[in-house]
């Protein structure tokens, strides 16, 4: 029994990335066929990446490895400036995208004070439903394992290559919600920015989760009412373009030190960029 257990653990450890991707996609896409019966249902299970990461971490390393892996969720004690980045950038970029749409002819928005509570509630819900389960998998599990043998930029782009098609059920079911080409640019840019946040905070998943949830929520808030018009495409290209500019900026300035690498235990390897001032 013990020999079989070690054999399974050894096999899982040698194939953990492939095993993770297969499980993440299988769990996430399992309800896609149900959309044929109920077109109004969700075509994607957002829990897939996180559940797959938990399962593979346990299979490959046992209980101890699973506990070490989940500890990333408690790495919230980082410089306050990183939390400002995690909220400020997701607010500014979609906000500028909405401004570009207004300049292109979209009606000026009319907001109420209660909208702030709506956005805050959306961020809180998205943290639980999307942020934790996606980022536990993409950044908490996949990214550091890719960085064992690759630099941070290459690893971030590789995550983007599997993160983009993971959204396929949503893209097929509602193609107007996320225009494909700007969405692909957006995913690539966000993957680099999230890798930068994860690495520079020594593997703080709370910061990464907050950024992801806030970006989703503010994008929905600023752009949702534009869907279906020409200005919606303008907004999405602005969103993608600004994200790409940020990704390039953190990659080239101040050189390679701004996109550092974290090993699987969350320790930074190489030089690190200092956090923004608190």
Q: Among 196, 184, 51, 154, which residue's Cα sits nearest to residue 146?
A: 154
Residue 256, Cα to own-chain centre: how many angstroms? 22
Q: How confident is the model at residue 259 (pLDDT cuts 50, 70, 90)?
A: low
Cα(first)–Cα(last) distance of the chain, in Å?
A: 53
Q: What is the DSSP letter of 111?
A: -
Separation in Å, CA 77 to CA 35, 73, 136, 203, 215: 42, 11, 18, 11, 21
Q: Alpha-carbon distance 143 to 189, whole Å? A: 15
Contact (Cβ atoms closer than 8 angstroms) between residue 219 and residue 89: no
Residue 179 predicted with pLDDT over 60: yes
Q: What is the DSSP letter of 274?
A: P
User: What pLDDT digit, counting tens, does each position of 102-131 carry?
Assistant: 999 998 888 888 889 999 999 999 999 999
User: What pLDDT digit, counting tens, does each position of 42-71 carry?
Assistant: 789 999 999 999 999 999 988 999 999 999
Angle ∠(210,211,217) on CA atoms, nearest 5: 85
Q: Alpha-carbon distance 189 to 187, whole Å? A: 5
Percent of the chain's residues with pLDDT above 70:
88
Residue entry with tokens 């439903």: 129
Q: Output the pLDDT for position 4.
A: 65
Q: Output the pLDDT for position 91.
A: 97
Q: How many CA within 13 A on the CB side of residue 84?
A: 7
Query: What is the biggest distance separating any 2 CA atoms in the chain, rounded to whole angstroms?
Result: 69
User: What pLDDT digit, counting tens, does each position of 212-252 carry?
Assistant: 999 999 999 999 999 988 999 999 999 999 999 999 999 88
Q: Please enumerate in sequence order all residues whose Cβ is within 8 A of that of 226, keeping only pairs 6 or more positions apart, or say none.
A: 98, 101, 106, 232, 235
Q: Alpha-carbon distance 42 to 58, whole Å? A: 29
């Amino acid at each position: 029994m013990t020999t079989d257990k070690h054999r399974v653990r050894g096999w899982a450890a040698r194939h953990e990335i492939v095993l993770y991707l297969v499980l993440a996609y299988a769990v996430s896409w399992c309800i896609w066929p149900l959309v044929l019966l109920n077109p109004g249902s969700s075509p994607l299970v957002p829990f897939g990446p996180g559940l797959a990461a938990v399962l593979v971490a346990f299979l490959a390393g046992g209980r101890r490895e699973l506990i070490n892996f989940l500890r990333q969720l408690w790495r919230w004690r980082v410089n306050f400036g990183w939390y400002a980045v995690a909220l400020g950038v997701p607010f500014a970029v979609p906000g500028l995208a909405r401004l570009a749409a207004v300049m292109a002819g979209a009606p000026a928005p009319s907001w109420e004070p209660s909208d702030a509570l709506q956005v805050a509630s959306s961020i809180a819900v998205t943290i639980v439903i999307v942020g934790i389960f996606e980022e536990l998998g993409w950044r908490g599990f996949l990214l550091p394992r890719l960085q064992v043998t690759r630099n941070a930029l290459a690893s971030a782009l590789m995550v983007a290559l599997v993160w983009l098609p993971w959204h396929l059920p949503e893209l097929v079911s509602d193609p107007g919600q996320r225009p494909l080409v700007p969405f692909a640019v957006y995913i690539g840019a966000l993957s680099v920015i999230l890798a930068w946040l994860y690495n520079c905070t020594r593997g703080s998943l709370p910061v990464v989760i907050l950024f992801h949830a806030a970006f989703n929520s503010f994008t929905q808030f600023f752009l949702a009412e534009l869907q279906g018009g020409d200005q919606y495409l303008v907004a999405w290209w602005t969103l993608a373009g600004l994200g790409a500019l940020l990704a390039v900026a953190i990659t080239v300035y101040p050189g390679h030190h701004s996109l550092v690498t974290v090993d699987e235990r969350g320790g930074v390897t190489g030089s690190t960029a200092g956090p923004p001032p608190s």
